[in-house]
Amino acid sequence: MSAFDDIYDKRILTDEDFEAVRKIVLEEYFSREPVSRKLDLTAEEAKLSSDSIIQEALKHQFSLGAFDRVTGDLIGCRISVMRKKMDGDVFPENLDDSPLKIRQLFGIVMSFFKNGGIAGVLKTEDYMQCIFLVCRKDRSQKGLGTELMRRSLKLAEQEGCKKFFTIAFSHYVQRIGRRLGFTTVEEMLYEDYVDPHTRTRIFCDIAEPHHSASLVVKNL
Ligand SMILES: CC(C)(COP(=O)(O)OP(=O)(O)OC[C@H]1O[C@@H](n2cnc3c(N)ncnc32)[C@H](O)[C@@H]1OP(=O)(O)O)[C@@H](O)C(=O)NCCC(=O)NCCS
């Protein structure tokens, strides 16, 4: 029992939660996560880049939501996939026909996995991957993000995963990772990152405190 249990009903998300997850991701993730915010995706671009990933993740039934016990609203969630439930990586294989901003978004993610894909970099296929961690701004800084991540680690452990990882674009998630014992495998400073599509440093003016994207891994 944690202090959050009085306020939030935390449960595994299913296909039926798709609309609520999509809403919080569109309204709270794409507008505040530093890289998406900088790219300033339209609602259509945001949906295009996230709908199929959310659908895949909900099928896996390893994603967690925190619902306000009074209103029933989804206040925060952590959306994850497990490699063993898929044929390959969750990210789209071919983005050639996608809008530039979507290619730029996935470009920075995939820059961490140039050598051997995700399983090659992690050296195992036995992993759970956190794709989105998002909590409503009006409830932030009270530990809900940390709590969702902590519970996710337990869930991954129970499922027999060897590693749990995420790309932490946000300084706040990097803090959560440090607190929960994640290791930083690779860090990309925003001021140094060169977008392969425009050959410019598109993220160089992302505002403090966010200064890097990090591949953070927890061995389970
Ligand atoms: C990242 C996010 C999920 C954190 O949720 P949260 O409920 O505020 O998380 P916590 O309360 O556990 O905070 C984690 C740490 O970040 C700090 N933090 C979070 N938001 C902050 C803010 N706006 N200003 C300053 N510090 C903040 C907390 O104080 C805490 O620091 P501590 O480790 O020193 O105690 C939330 O800010 C969010 O949804 N952001 C938009 C989407 C996003 O960026 N997702 C992550 C992409 S990698």
pLDDT tens for residues 76-115?
999 999 999 998 888 888 898 999 999 999 999 999 998 8
- The amino acid at residue 138 is D
> pLDDT for 120-142, tens place per residue?
999 999 999 999 999 999 999 99
- pLDDT beyond 70 at 1: no
**Lowest mean pLDDT segment, chosen from 1-10, 22-31, 67-76, 132-141:** 1-10
Angle at 184 between CA 182 and CA 188, to 5 degrees: 145
Does residue 175 sit in helix, strand or coil?
A: helix
The best mutation among 131, 132, 134, 140 to test binding of ligand 1, ranked by most ligand atoms within 8 Å of the C-beta, falls on: 140
Ligand 1 atom nearest to 167, measured from its CA: 48
Q: Is the dihedral of CA 127, 4, 170, 74 positive or negative?
A: positive
- What is the residue with the minimal CA distance to atom 34 of ligand 1? 175
Q: Which of 141, 166, 203, 214 to mutate to test the pocket of ligand 1 (most atoms within 8 A of CB)?
A: 141
Q: Which domains does the chain have, with CATH numbers?
A: 3-219 (3.40.630.30)
Query: What's the CA-to-centroid distance between 133 and ligand 1, angstroms?
Result: 10
Burial letters for 90-121: b for 16+ Cβ neighbours within 10 Å, e otherwise? bbeeebeebeebbbbbebbbbbbbeeeebeeb
The whole-chain average pLDDT of the chain stands at 95
Tokens of 80: 């994850």
Q: Where are the alpha helices (DSSP H) in 116-204?
A: 117-122, 144-158, 171-179
Q: How far apart are CA 170 and CA 41, in angstroms?
A: 17
* Pocket lining for ligand 1, CB < 6 angstroms: 28-29, 32-33, 133-135, 140-146, 168-170, 172-173, 175-176, 179
Res 46: pLDDT: 97
Region of 131 on the Ramachandran plot (φ > 0 left; ψ -120 to 50 alpha; else beta) = alpha
pLDDT of residue 93: 81
- Angle 83-196-32 from CA coordinates, rounded to 5°: 65
